Amino acid sequence: KLTSREFHPQDTVVDVDGVKIGDGSFVTMAGPCSVEGLEQIRQTARMAQAGGAKILRGGAFKPRTSPYAFQGLEEEGLKYLRQAADEFGLKVITEVMDESHIDLVAHYSDILQIGARNMQNFKLLASVGKTGKPIGLKRGISGTINEWLNAAEYVAVSGKSPVIFIERGIRTFEDATRNTFDLSAVPLIKKMSHFPIIVDPSHGTGVWDLVPPMARAGVATGADGMIVEIHPDPENAWSDGQQSLNEKTYQKMMQEIEIISAAM
């Protein structure tokens, strides 16, 4: 298989317009769950950059559980995200939910994120694989390692896009956390595939004060980076405020991560 270690023994380093993922450094992608407006995303981009993140996240097309919940600012959100990222020298990752939006999202974003709910949307995987842009592939809500690897294979076989695996927790019987964050996925994926893997302690836990300890643990697994939700005012965030870090907590976490990643 194209994604397997046997096929390609060396680590694949993914170049996101100059930011390297998988080269041994730990790359942070930070930003709000949703882009809410230009000022909100500019403030968050400033925070993200000050803490050492290299890539700005933010949803413009949101896969919400309820159809009555905020669905995202769509193209307006993509514009704000790009503008804020450019202002602070950051790259962009954002989700593409539907095949019909691939060109639009690819126009504004450096990495195309495939959400957990779309891990097995095989036509979408094949289509994003043709763009040549790096694909941030979230693990499905109940995705096994084998299913996740096969999803990556759909991307790889269809074109030139490299994959960045994103461990974001899986559904188990435990409901004290939003998901069960499966950190064993990191060394396992590294053993089985040459593509980089990053961790998402925000969706992995769903609880903001669990995010820094699990981010620290994520660095220690040998992950190539993390994607984390931050917000200038988490209590008033339009989505996922309960798992978003404020400026102070984020900065402290980034200092801790720096120490652990330097020791790795």
**207: Cβ contacts below 8 Å, ≥ 6 apart:** 177, 178, 242, 243
Using CB under 6 A, which residues numbered 14 to 43 contact ligand PEP?
33
Tokens of 95: 């989700």
Tokens of 151: 């999803």
- Amino acid identity of residue 226, one-letter, is M
Q: Segment near ligand PEP (CB under 6 A), from 11-19, 67-75, 110-118, 254-262?
A: 110-118
Integer Cα distance of 48 and 55 in angstroms = 8
Could you say which of Mn ion, ligand PEP, none residue 63 binds, taking C-beta under 5 to 8 angstroms by partner kind?
Answer: ligand PEP
Query: What are the Cα distances from residue 126, in Å, to 94, 99, 121, 156, 218?
Result: 18, 10, 9, 8, 29
Are 204 and 214 in contact, with CB atoms under 8 Å apart?
A: yes
Judged by beta carbon, residue 22 or residue 140, the one nearer ligand PEP is 140
Q: How far is the CB of 141 from ligand PEP (least distance, A)?
A: 7
Q: How far is the CB of 171 from ligand PEP (least distance, A)?
A: 11
Judged by beta carbon, residue 22 or residue 115, the one nearer ligand PEP is 115
When asked if residue 133 is in the footprint of ligand PEP (CB under 6 A), the reply is no
When asked if residue 77 is in the footprint of ligand PEP (CB under 6 A), the reply is no
Q: How far is the CB of 33 from ligand PEP (least distance, A)?
A: 5
Integer Cα distance of 24 and 48 in angstroms = 21
Q: How far is the CB of 75 from ligand PEP (least distance, A)?
A: 18
Using CB under 6 A, which residues numbered 50 to 69 contact ligand PEP?
59, 63
Integer Cα distance of 251 and 52 in angstroms = 9
- Amino acid identity of residue 120, one-letter, is Q
Q: Where does this chain bind Mn ion (CB under 5 A)?
A: 33, 240
Are 198 and 166 in contact, with CB atoms under 8 Å apart?
A: yes
Q: How far is the CB of 107 from ligand PEP (least distance, A)?
A: 20
Give the x/- contact pattern for ligand PEP in 83-102, rule: CB under 6 A.
Answer: --------------------
From the centroid of its chain, how far is CA 16? 13
Binds ligand PEP by CB under 6 A, chosen from 53, 116, 210, 237: 116
**235: Cβ contacts below 8 Å, ≥ 6 apart:** 241
Binds ligand PEP by CB under 6 A, chosen from 54, 82, 91, 138: 138
DSSP letter, residue 59: B
Binds ligand PEP by CB under 6 A, chosen from 203, 228, 238, 261: 203
When asked if residue 168 is in the footprint of ligand PEP (CB under 6 A), the reply is yes
Q: How many residues bind ligand PEP (CB under 6 A)?
A: 9
Are 249 and 208 in contact, with CB atoms under 8 Å apart?
A: yes
Q: How far is the CB of 168 from ligand PEP (least distance, A)?
A: 4
Residue bearing tokens 């959400």: 115
* Residues binding ligand PEP (CB under 6 A): 33, 59, 63, 115-117, 138, 168, 203
